[in-house]
Structure 1
Amino acid sequence: MTTTKSTYRGRFLAAVVGGLLFLTGCAAGNPGEATPTTSSPPTTAATPAPSTVPMPPPAAAAPTSPEEPLPAMQPASAPVTLTIPSIGVRTELLHLGLEENGSLKVPQDTGQGAPASWYDGSPAPGETGPAVMLGHVNALGGNKGVFADLQKLRDGEQITVIRSDSSTALFTVYRAARYSKSDFPTFEVYGNTAGSELRLITCDGYNSATGEFDDNYVIYAKLAV
């Protein structure tokens, strides 16, 4: 599928202007190494716990990456595969939009784990702006989710996205942060950027008292090639 840059960006802006967007949470299960400072959730399957991560009006946001010469942007092309060699991740990417209530759709785990997804209202990886990708920290049956090891990523490590036109967008990690869902910095995470960037988002901070995840963990990366 090939779509113009203006179409992708227009959909992203239209969704934001139309109201708040929300990210739904991860189902209870073993969070692996993604929640080292909290107690582990039960290993039995449970109903996914909702979270609330509003998306901001991008026009009010400022670029968050370090100031340096920007690589050439790439034409729009939807992502197909995400690879993170340093933590052993290779996942096909679903293309998901919004639920009727304005929440971001997340991959459904049918018992074999779920792949990561690209929010198809955000820019395509390689275009100007932040491409948004979501993945579970855990899986049903007490297994690890596709993004269970995001906390192991370090600055300078690389993330590769293969696109539908067979081109590659290579990103370099420059920052990682854990945020409370009750105090999520929406402008910082989702706002406009001067160049092409990538955001990988998962749940974090499992709360055994509520059976929900209280936090989000976010990887920031910028286009390298």
Structure 2
Amino acid sequence: MNDTDSGRRGGLWASTAAGLLLALALAGCGSGSNGTSDAGAPPSASGAPSAAVVSPPPAPAVAAPSASTPAAAPSAAGPAALPRSEPVALEIPAIGVRTDLLKLGLRENGSLEVPQDSGNGAPASWYNGSPTPGERGPSVMLGHVNSPNGRGGVFADLRKLAPGMDVAVSRADGSTAVFTVDRGELYGKDSFPTLEVYGNTSGPELRLITCDGYDPATGLFDDNYVIYAKLKA
């Protein structure tokens, strides 16, 4: 696939993202075998996942970006977008993460599939409706913050990532897309900035999403934590 195709795919992703935003914002960190989402820094004694995956509103739920929020245009700066190739593994050396990647989409009811955890921890997953890592646009990966076995989930230490740290994604074509962390952001699930996280980008980017903000009074997780990274090589 050439760069033109990659750009077209990015546009298609942006146009369909609006209909998926709510589901993605509230999901991406589930750990229960029932498909519910967990999040945040869960109490080690509990280990029980919580927080619900919510179905997205009918697309298009959000209009295309207006003049005040224009879609990003391709930029000549930075590394060129890679051809499409699905991810197979994710490595984050700074926090000791090396995980195979599931490839998950949407359930029949429109809610996002989340990794199933039988009790020994679950791998992270790539949302297969987003660009593949290295294509233009934001490639979205989701991971647990906790596990029913009481240990941390695959994205338990996402908050420890700092700007400049590397994230490597092995791809099915044998190549590796290396991303550099730009920043991490904490968002309340009721105020998730959907277009900022899932909207078009001028170059290849990566989003790592888990949950945060455990509330012991409710047993739920109120927030999402998002790592933003850009293609390095």
User: Which category of TM-score, normalised to the shorter sequence, fits these structures?
Assistant: 0.7 to 0.9
In structure 2, the CA distance between the partners of 1:62 and 1:159, relative to structure 1 (3 Å rule), is farther
Q: 2:178 aligns with which of 165, 170, 176?
A: 170
1:142 to 137, 140, 150: 150
1:49 alignment partner in structure 2: 51
2:161 corresponds to: 153
Q: Could you report, residue by residue, the CA deviation over 1:31-55 in whole angstroms, capped at 9, with x for unpaired residues?
A: 99x63xxxx5363453542155969
1:22-101 → structure 2 map (5 Å cutoff): 22-23=23-24, 24=27, 25-27=29-31, 35=41, 40-41=42-43, 43-46=45-48, 48-51=50-53, 59-60=64-65, 69-101=77-109
More strand by share: 1
Query: What whole-Å deviation, never above 9, does each CA across 1:140-160 have from its counterpart, x for those lacking one?
Result: 121110000000000000000
Q: How many residues align?
A: 213
CA apart distance, 1:118: 0.2
Residue of structure 2 equivalent to 1:222: 230
Which aligned pairs between 1:165-204 and structure 2 lie closer than 5 A? 165-204=173-212
Give the conservation status (yes or no) of the 8 Å contact 1:51–1:181.
Answer: no
Give identity over the alignment, percent.
55
Where does structure 2 lack aligned partners over 5 or more consecutive residues?
Answer: 33-37
Counterpart Cα distance in 2 of 1:59 and 1:123 = 18
Q: Residue 145 of structure 1 aligns to a residue in which SS? A: coil
RMSD: 3.0
User: Is 2:138–2:199's contact at 8 Å kept on the other side of the alignment?
Assistant: yes
**How far 1:126 moved relative to its partner?**
0.4
Shift of 1:84: 0.3
Which amino acid letter does the alignment assign opposite residue 30 of structure 2? C
SS in structure 2 of the partner of residue 22 of structure 1:
helix
1: distance between equivalents of 2:203 and 2:187? 24
Structure-1 separation of matches of 2:98 and 2:88: 11
1:128 aligned to which of 133, 136, 148: 136
Gaps of 5+ in 1: none
Q: Identify which range, 128-137 or 41-50, moves more after superposition.
A: 41-50
Q: TM-score, normalised by structure 2?
A: 0.80
Change (3 A) 1:168 1:125: same
Q: Render the CA deviation track for 1:111-136: whole Å, top value 9, x for unaligned.
A: 11000000000000000000000000
Does the CA-based 8 Å contact 2:166-2:181 persist in structure 1? yes
Q: Distance in 2 between matches of 1:222 and 1:26?
A: 25
Task: Quickly say closer, same or farther: Cα 1:18–1:51, change in 2 above 3 A.
Answer: closer
One-letter code of the match for 2:86?
A
Hey, what does 1:115 align to over in structure 2?
123
